[in-house]
Amino acid sequence: MRITFPPDFIWGVAASAYQIEGAWNEDGKGPSIWDTFSHIPGKVVKNQNGDIAIDHYHRWQEDLDLMRSLNVKSYRFSIAWTRILPAGRGAVNSPGLDFYDRLVDGCLARGIDPVPCLFHYDLPQALQDDGGGWKNRDTAYRFADYARVVTERLSDRVKIIMTHNEPWVTAIAGYLMGIHAPGGKNPYNGLKAAHHVMLSHGLAAEAIRASALKPVKVGITLNLSPFYPATDSSRDIQAAEDAHAMINRVALDPLLLGTTPLMENWKTRWLATTFIKEGDLEKIKNLDLLGVNYYSRNVMKFSLKNVPLFSEEVKPVGNEYSEMWEIYPPGMFTLLKRIWDDYYIPAQAKGIRMPELMVTENGVPVPDTLDADGHVHDERRIRYLRDHLAQVHKATQAGVDIKGYYVWSFADNFEWNLGYGPRFGLIHVDYESLKRTIKDSGNWYSNVIIENGFDTGG
Ligand code: FCB
């Protein structure tokens, strides 16, 4: 069967600064919490770090040429805050801004829409040292200042500015689970940081709108997952709904409704009232574009662990797993449809204009190798992308208005605490020579873009 996407569907690729740029201390860049964290022995698999990464900072022209050759329409990248403001605040570092200026021009010259994201986990170390990073409400205000500096420079050319990538991961993986920088392990700090990141979105949205040279859309990207109960017991159903509230709704509700589940639930209200201030939620509801990152689903059961969630993830059996997660394409449809049904349909019924919706990340790690013929035959990734795109298409058929889709990632890169093990790219990178090779999936995706669809084979 042939499936065709809506006209003007945006076909993109995504990446982030720390994962690809390298040049960690060049041209006046200040250290970020990821520079610090990855240099601490034991924090990242094999003690790897992003000092060089895939050297995108120096090879960006070659990388944009490769994207062009794949017919990519849009490139979602992130800006390293510490290239722009090395200490997180204060003096602007012009060479840092110049880099992103050239990158934006380079995209435009190749017919690629540049979509910058202001924050993808790499908080200035200076802001972590002084006040505790996202635990500190003041960081949200510093983020808005940084947003203004970038907007003043780039908004004559970019049409979208994304504020954050996956606020939940920034806060929870970084301040509660301890697996990401800065490595904090405190539930209260995790929730507090999560709120401050969301608040910073609202403050930055105001700053972007006030300083834009031309109108730009303000976007955000969320890590969302459909939550399924492990059994049909009422306790497991409740556990899945609580996890949905704490991971999905905690970001979606403030952005789309101006409310938060943290205040509704007795398990979290007593904590939330200590850091959510009057007027915060109204500020956060300021959005033109909602990006959904989908990789896998979560199956939950009731448990006394993970206070205040009272739920625990179980590993479902029966489906194939990648190096990181269960492969579950139907979850893409379930998730998009639920967002649409829970937020968009009720709002539209009241005549409220809602943000555009896009899939801003989807992809799979595959242990790719260069074959003797010089190619990477990553058939597993082609199947993953095909099956997930089929679910995106199914959602569009069910009335969900999805504007675009971005593959994570354009090239293999540094996968945070897992280092260079998992390879997510459409382009293979030899980490010794830094040579790039388009994988079979890259050529497949390029064809999908040209044809605005594909054959499902069924
Ligand atoms: C997402 C992150 C991205 C990458 C992929 C695999 O959660 O946004 O940086 O790590 O997962």
Kindly give the distance from the C-alpha atom of residue 262 to the centroid of ligand 1, in angstroms, as a whole number.
Answer: 25
On the question of pLDDT at 163 being above 80, the answer is yes
Q: Is 24 in the pocket of ligand 1 (CB under 6 A)?
A: no
Kindly give the distance from the C-alpha atom of residue 414 to the centroid of ligand 1, in angstroms, as a whole number.
Answer: 10
Q: How far is CA 217 from CA 139, 160, 206, 290, in A?
A: 23, 5, 12, 10
* Catalytic positions, written as ranges: 166, 361
On the question of pLDDT at 332 being above 90, the answer is yes
Q: Which residue has the tokens 């960006």?
A: 60
Structure tokens at 425: 């790219």
Q: Is 18 in the pocket of ligand 1 (CB under 6 A)?
A: no
Q: Is 417 in the pocket of ligand 1 (CB under 6 A)?
A: no
**SS3 category, 4:** strand
Q: Is 11 in the pocket of ligand 1 (CB under 6 A)?
A: no
**Cα(184)–Cα(123) distance, rounded to whole angstroms?**
14
Q: From the CB of residue 395, how many other CB atoms can be counted at a distance below 10 Å?
A: 21
Kindly give the distance from the C-alpha atom of residue 225 to the centroid of ligand 1, in angstroms, as a whole number.
Answer: 13
Looking at residues 235-256, what average pLDDT do you find? 95
Q: Which residue has the higher pLDDT, 307 or 220?
A: 220
Name the residue at shortest CA distance from atom 5 of ligand 1: 408
Pocket mutation for ligand 1, best pick of 117, 121, 169 (most atoms within 8 Å of C-beta): 169
Q: What is the pLDDT confidence band of residue 305, given thresholds at 50, 70 and 90? A: confident
Q: Which atom of ligand 1 is nearest to the CA of 166?
A: 8
What pLDDT does 403 receive? Answer: 98
Kindly give the distance from the C-alpha atom of residue 151 to the centroid of ligand 1, in angstroms, as a whole number.
Answer: 24
Kindly give the distance from the C-alpha atom of residue 127 to the centroid of ligand 1, in angstroms, as a whole number.
Answer: 23
**Cα(339)–Cα(439) distance, rounded to whole angstroms?**
33
What pLDDT does 347 receive? Answer: 98
What pLDDT does 26 receive? Answer: 98
Structure tokens at 35: 């520079």
Name the residue at shortest CA distance from atom 7 of ligand 1: 223
Q: Which atom of ligand 1 is nearest to the CA of 416?
A: 10
Q: Is 378 in the pocket of ligand 1 (CB under 6 A)?
A: no
**Cα(456)–Cα(458) distance, rounded to whole angstroms?**
5
Q: Is 122 in the pocket of ligand 1 (CB under 6 A)?
A: no
Positive or negative: CA dihedral 57, 108, 219, 131: positive
What pLDDT does 268 receive? Answer: 83
Query: What percent of the chain has pLDDT above 90?
Result: 95
Looking at residues 149-163, what average pLDDT do you find? 98
Kindly give the distance from the C-alpha atom of residue 77 to the centroid of ligand 1, in angstroms, as a whole number.
Answer: 12
Positive or negative: CA dihedral 15, 17, 23, 28: positive
Comparing CA positions, the residue from 347, 457, 332 lying closest to residue 396 is 332
Pick the range with the lowest mean pLDDT from 116-125, 199-208, 307-316, 381-390. Answer: 307-316
Structure tokens at 104: 């934006």
Chain CA centroid to CA 197, Å: 14
On the question of pLDDT at 62 being above 90, the answer is yes
Q: Is 322 in the pocket of ligand 1 (CB under 6 A)?
A: no
Looking at residues 108-124, what average pLDDT do you find? 98
What pLDDT does 181 receive? Answer: 97
Q: How far is CA 64 from CA 13, 107, 212, 404, in A?
A: 11, 7, 26, 19
On the question of pLDDT at 457 being above 80, the answer is no
Kindly give the distance from the C-alpha atom of residue 362 to the centroid of ligand 1, in angstroms, as a whole number.
Answer: 9
CA angle 422, 425, 430 (to 5 degrees): 75
Q: What is the pLDDT confidence band of residue 264, given thresholds at 50, 70 and 90? A: confident
Name the residue at shortest CA distance from atom 4 of ligand 1: 415
Contacts of residue 225, defined as CB under 8 A and 6 or more positions apart, other chains included, come to: 247, 248, 294, 295, 296, 297, 298, 331, 335
Q: Is 361 in the pocket of ligand 1 (CB under 6 A)?
A: yes
On the question of pLDDT at 108 being above 90, the answer is yes
DSSP assignment of 36-84 equals HHHTSTTSSGGG--SSSTT-HHHHHHHHHHHHHHTT--EEEEE--HHHH
pLDDT one-digit tens code per residue, 20-50: 999 999 999 999 999 999 999 999 999 999 9
Cis amide prior to 182 (ω within 30 degrees):
yes
Give backbone dihedrals phi and psi of 99, rounded to 5 degrees, phi first.
-60, -50
Pick the range with the lowest mean pLDDT from 56-65, 67-76, 299-308. Answer: 299-308
Q: Which amino acid is at 201?
A: H
What pLDDT does 267 receive? Answer: 76
Q: Is 169 in the pocket of ligand 1 (CB under 6 A)?
A: yes
Cα atoms in the Cβ-side hemisphere of radius 13 Å centred on 48? 20
Average pLDDT across the chain, whole number: 97
**Cα(369)–Cα(378) distance, rounded to whole angstroms?**
8
On the question of pLDDT at 458 being above 70, the answer is no
Comparing CA positions, the residue from 228, 238, 391 lying closest to residue 298 is 228
CB 382 within 8 A of CB 440: yes
Chain CA centroid to CA 300, Å: 23
Looking at residues 269-283, what average pLDDT do you find? 96
457 CB-contact burial (10 Å; exposed 0-12 / middle 13-18 / buried 19+): exposed
Name the residue at shortest CA distance from atom 10 of ligand 1: 415
Quote helix, strand, coil % in the chain, to nearest 5: 45, 15, 40
Q: Which atom of ligand 1 is nearest to the CA of 363?
A: 6
Q: Which residue has the tokens 């044809």?
A: 451
Kindly give the distance from the C-alpha atom of residue 36 to the centroid of ligand 1, in angstroms, as a whole number.
Answer: 19
Q: DSSP code of 162?
A: E
Structure tokens at 164: 């954050």
Q: What is the pLDDT confidence band of residue 266, given thresholds at 50, 70 and 90? A: confident
Q: Which atom of ligand 1 is nearest to the CA of 19?
A: 9
Pocket mutation for ligand 1, best pick of 361, 366, 412 (most atoms within 8 Å of C-beta): 361
Q: Is 268 in the pocket of ligand 1 (CB under 6 A)?
A: no
Looking at residues 211-223, what average pLDDT do you find? 98
On the question of pLDDT at 308 being above 70, the answer is no
Q: What is the pLDDT confidence band of residue 456, given thresholds at 50, 70 and 90? A: confident
Which run of H or of E encompasses 19?
A: helix 17-20
What pLDDT does 265 receive? Answer: 80
